[in-house]
A and B are shown apart, each in its own frame.
Chain A
Amino acid sequence: MVDRGGLQLLPETRKKIDIITPGENRNLIIGSVVFAIAAVLAGAAYFYQNSLENKMASLDADIAALEQQRNKQAEQNILVFNKQLSMLSKLLNEHVYWTTAFSKIEGLTQVRVSFGNLTAILLENKVNFEAVADNYTTIARQIAAFISDESIKDVSLSRINTLTNGQLNFTMQITFDKSKFLKAR
């Protein structure tokens, strides 16, 4: 600026006067703080996620390693054996002893009765037989003897016919209780 007689009304240099307005930086501070929080959160979450991912990968690797350690043959053997044991008890409970049945029939048979043909069927719980007796009384005693046994539920006499030698040929059916008639002595 030109000096005109020594009086200088306007300053040669302009001095900026900063007027501090209250709350001037508020938005900047809030924005910075929010940004900083978001950045810190993002970083922390990222590291936490990474640590979890690593843990997960490690667990998966452990599980895979255990899977490799499995002795599949041994597992199969144990599985088969377990099945065999479970079947065994069932089959042993249902196992039938025809020797018990025949010894019962022998014990109950009258002296003057002789058997011819016989069919024993487990599924029907029945024994059909054809026998020869000397007279009707013997047949009646035979029926009574069978009925007296608790393992025999029913006795049916089908047919009686007289043979040429005077003896009586008869057919009979015994219905038995499997749980008593065919069980081990």
Chain B
Amino acid sequence: MKPAPFSYAKAKSLDHAIELMARPEARLLAGGQSLIATLNMRLSAPKLLIDLNGLRDLAGIAIKNGAVEIGALTRHAEAERSADIARHAPLIALAVPHIGHPAIRNRGTLGGSIAFADPAAELPACLVALGGEVDIAGPKGKRTVQADDFFKGLFETALGAQDVLTAIRVPVATKETRVGFAEFTRRHGDYAMVGLAACAQADGKGLRDVRLAYFGVGAVPLRAKKAETKLAEGSIDDAVKVLAADLAPLDDVQATGAAKRHLAGVLLRRVARQLMEARS
């Protein structure tokens, strides 16, 4: 239970980090709250760790052009305390207290959570539910990838071998925006057995643009598109019924697929009620 030997380098700039990533078996170190655990267990054994923590330009929360831009190195605890997040990105504000425990949130970063892409993690699902995007810097320059295209497979993303995730961006919530979040965990702060992050726009008494992103039920955050349509049509019961066609969770160490499918329905009812409540 100790890491295999590796070299350590502190990135002096974003370009320096990208340059260092050209070396064999290099990994980026941000908050380290997942990576260092896997090092300790020797589930990963990189040759070089590139520490991004000195790059404070990559941290911070800003409102720009109708979007909330969150620098990759922003720590969960910063987001949890941020008035801008609470007001303009209420789904992220709801989700962050469920990420790990206080000491984990003091170190862990939003960019790290997105880049690591744990299938049972909260933030990737939030990003998908909000239709957000991800800024990436690499050897060929900068690019932006939509959340729906970012998560490719189990712990697999659109990030290339020399890429650094620099920021995430989600639309600023409007008066019509409704959000909901709920998850089942064995202990507060653990990875979810099943979780649901959702966003919709109020339309009269109903909802439109419903986006339901489940986590813990597949390799990536999964949109429940049939249930989204039923919810927009106004029926929670019908939305729960069609979930079986949207999700086919497999058994894992946390729960059987059948239990997860049942819990997904329970979550949908809870989150649907949150979506239908007026935003305070």
Report whether chain A binds chain B. no
